[in-house]
Structure 1
Amino acid sequence: MKIKSASNLIFLLLLCFIFNSCTEPYILETNTYEEALVVEATITNELKKQEITLTKTSRFEDKETQIESGADVFITDNAGTRYDFEEESGKYISTKEFQAIPGKEYRLTINTKDGRSFVSSTETLTPVNVMQDVKAAVETKDSLRGVAIRVTSFDPTNEAKYYRYEYEETYKIIAPKWVATKAILDDNSNILLVPNPVDTKVCYSTKKNTALILTNTSQQTDSHLNYRVRFISDQNYIITHRYSILVKQYVENLAAYTYYETLKKISESGSLLSPRQPGYLYGNLRSTNNPTEKIIGYFDVASVSTKRIYFNYEDLFPGEFAPPYYTNCDEFCYRPGLEPYPCRTFDGFIQDLGLNKIAYQSANVPSSVYNMVNIPCGDCTSFSSNIKPTFWVD
């Protein structure tokens, strides 16, 4: 999450229009910068080591997010129990497993290494409402055909009304032009034909959602929920073979939901000149030693349920052609000699092979024609991992 000074940007853009109609490119930089702590903290009713992320606001020109390191982070409850967190791999991880318990009150405290102190309001666990099901079905969205991932849920007590979702999708990749032999260069730039490792053929990629996914049943007469958390075009290569998605459903209270909804509106404003400008978004954290100091984020205590599903492309689209690969896999050839047409010159072959740009597809003899493809088409490890996830089921 990056917090930017929108007013400065608008001022710069207006000056650009007034003085030179923006005919020259302008490199945006931050003239004024106010550093603030950014907190991402959700503890749940899962028995696990809980995680908290502390970062700093960023300038326009910053390339990476700065981690707030060296902080003393802990949570206390109204029974006097303290849960300590230790810094690990850019996050703060609880030193022991624990879970949020209904009826208990929890408070987050953060003491930074430069002497600042912050504390949250007391929060209690939201109502527990387990997802009934997660299903994949063929649907059409905005005239686009694809796969909809839908969550169904029902709370007979009608207490759970506000929901936030996260998902992690994993998909199987098979290099479409993998062959058993590949070409390499030896130390003297001679072309050698060697066995192609089998473990470059099948890979698995995993990605998490980046946008906030929110819905609510506050305007309904009951708490039945049927919500689409993900839509995938039928032309997206990630569903070509086998696809899995892990969906997490968080039940939020009204205050947390309102915070996330406002944050979502800011992030989806669509234009830097939109009338909906970010400003400062207040959460449930405050400074204990400087009332004017800003802190961004929310300490969330939410019940969660998770469910994973799998499907194959042929399960939903029987007899149909699979989606195209994400990149061009047309074969091209290299041929030695003064007149290589219709192939490419052999000098280019040596150069591209040395830069690991191409994968060997087929050849008659070493002195004849070499048919090649771009390397992702013959070696999926060039952009993905060949390590099969521990949870994966074929």
Structure 2
Amino acid sequence: MLLICFIINSCTEPYILETNTYEEALVVEATITNELKKQEITLTKTSRFEDKETQIEKGADVFITDNTGTQYDFEEESGKYISRTEFQAIPGKEYRLTINTKDGRSFVSSTETLTPVNVMQDVKAAVETKDSLRGVAIRVTSFDPTNEAKYYRYEYEETYKIVAPSWNLNKAIVVPANPNNPRAEPTYALIRNSPDTRVCYNTKKSTEVLLTSTAELNDNHVNFSVRFISNQNYIITERYSILVRQYIENLASYSYYSTLKKLAGSGSLLSPNQPGFLYGNLRSVNNPSDKIIGYFDVTSVSTKRIYFNYIDLFPGEVPPPYYTDCTPFCYGEQPCTHMGGLIDDIGLGKVTYAGSPNWVNAPCGDCTTFASNVKPPFWED
């Protein structure tokens, strides 16, 4: 038995996934809406397994034309292509996207029209239980009395307030050794801490493809959960806000996003359902071998933002634990058994002062180590 265990363990090595063959393709994210704004288009390249960063397609000529002959030009800015002027998709007009890359490739989309306009009715947060897990469900309700809007896609952007649980009035800084005293060693001193390190905000965008349809229902009412948050997730400890966007899709775009969702949710990289090449409504003009991935989407959109506090939904209950361990520790002899040098840890920003003789992991006393202390312009307390 010992020999078998030894053989099994000795044959276990980490396998580093690497791309065996690689075929470059242009990846397009282009959603034009009925909002009057500067529209955005993102152009990137396909990545290898071992790539750590996404390659931006730079220097492309990008523009949209409509059936009246109007052309909307886009210019490169901060890794995206932004329209030079504000415009919005108008019902009845036809739109086409054209992309000419710096290396001479040309791509064009099919002609697309704006989908039916259907404004989102409401967004609500309610306590629910999902898969035996208690938490908050963010639900969207919508209804189209004309029965024209049948396919829905959602995105959200969540922002939450963070209060460092171990913030202290004093802050420790390293005091360098006296260069005139060869026996002197660096030490630390306490100074007044900035209140700007106590309260922060973090914003994250949805990454999952969120879809629902009323095509097979008897009515056109939508009651869809776009987000579920466990009541033990620290992001709802204080105050939480979510901005939900509802896009009305046509059957073709809905089918594209449904396929994309299946490919993205295939599970293990080594599962039988391997992600394949997904064609959208974009094609090469001159060379069929030039591959392009993505969809030119012309869609109506509506948005709604809500806020809630933890105590609003869970009155009298203990808030979730902080995202990292904030148990105080000290340096030195037992019972101060924390490993490492205090001065080095202060200098490296690993710890913050929590009142003598206690120290805590830096994020527990300084939220700016992982979030922004700038209050978002839309935030409401």
TM-score range, shorter chain: over 0.9
Equivalent residues in 2 for 1:282-301, closer than 5 Å: 282-301=279-298
Number of matched pairs: 365
Q: Which of residues 133, 136, 140 is equivalent to 2:125?
A: 136
1:358 matches 2:351: yes
Secondary structure at the counterpart of residue 89 of structure 2: coil
Q: Alpha-carbon deviation of 1:247?
A: 0.2
Q: Deviations over 1:224-271 (max 9, x none)?
A: 011000000000000001000000000000000000000000010112
Correspondence for 2:4: none
Q: Which of residues 12, 15, 18 is equivalent to 1:29?
A: 18
Secondary structure at the counterpart of residue 333 of structure 1: coil
Correspondence for 1:97: 86
1:275 to 1:360, Cα distance in 2 relative to 1, 3 A: same
1:254 to 1:349, Cα distance in 2 relative to 1, 3 A: same
Correspondence for 1:281: 278
Correspondence for 1:38: 27
Correspondence for 1:225: 222
1:276 to 1:375, Cα distance in 2 relative to 1, 3 A: same
Equivalent residues in 2 for 1:242-391, closer than 5 Å: 242-335=239-332, 340-344=333-337, 348-363=341-356, 370-391=357-378
Give the whole-Å Cα distance in 2 for the aligned partners of 1:25 and 1:144: 33
Correspondence for 1:152: 141
1:119 matches 2:116: no
- Structure 2 unaligned regions, length at least 5: 1-9, 178-185
Please tell me the residue identity of whatever aligns with 2:18.
E
22-31 or 277-286: bigger deviation = 22-31
Give the whole-Å Cα distance in 2 for the aligned partners of 1:269 and 1:209: 18
Please tell me the residue identity of whatever aligns with 1:77.
D
1:45 to 1:347, Cα distance in 2 relative to 1, 3 A: closer
Q: Deviations over 1:89-125 (max 9, x none)?
A: 0000000000000000000000001100000000000
Correspondence for 2:182: none
Give the whole-Å Cα distance in 1 for the aligned partners of 2:339 and 2:48: 48
Give the whole-Å Cα distance in 1 for the aligned partners of 2:11 and 2:242: 45
Q: Alpha-carbon deviation of 1:191?
A: 1.2
354-363 or 92-101: bigger deviation = 354-363
1:286 to 1:391, Cα distance in 2 relative to 1, 3 A: same
Correspondence for 1:13: none
Q: Alpha-carbon deviation of 1:346?
A: 9.2
1:334 to 1:82, Cα distance in 2 relative to 1, 3 A: same
Secondary structure at the counterpart of residue 255 of structure 2: helix
Please tell me the residue identity of whatever aligns with 1:377.
C
1:70 matches 2:59: yes
**Percent identity over paired residues:** 77
Give the whole-Å Cα distance in 1 for the aligned partners of 2:228 and 2:366: 28
Q: Which of residues 68, 77, 83 is equivalent to 1:88?
A: 77
- Structure 1 unaligned regions, length at least 5: 1-20, 364-369
Correspondence for 2:208: 211
Secondary structure at the counterpart of residue 261 of structure 1: helix
Q: Deviations over 1:18-60 (max 9, x none)?
A: xxx9733332222221111000000000000000000001111
Give the whole-Å Cα distance in 1 for the aligned partners of 2:307 and 2:140: 14
Q: Deviations over 1:176-215 (max 9, x none)?
A: 0111012111222221011110100000000001111111
Secondary structure at the counterpart of residue 353 of structure 1: helix
Whether the 8 Å CA contact 2:150–2:220 is kept in 1: the answer is: yes
Q: Alpha-carbon deviation of 1:345?
A: 6.8
Please tell me the residue identity of whatever aligns with 1:349.
L
Give the whole-Å Cα distance in 1 for the aligned partners of 2:163 and 2:51: 37
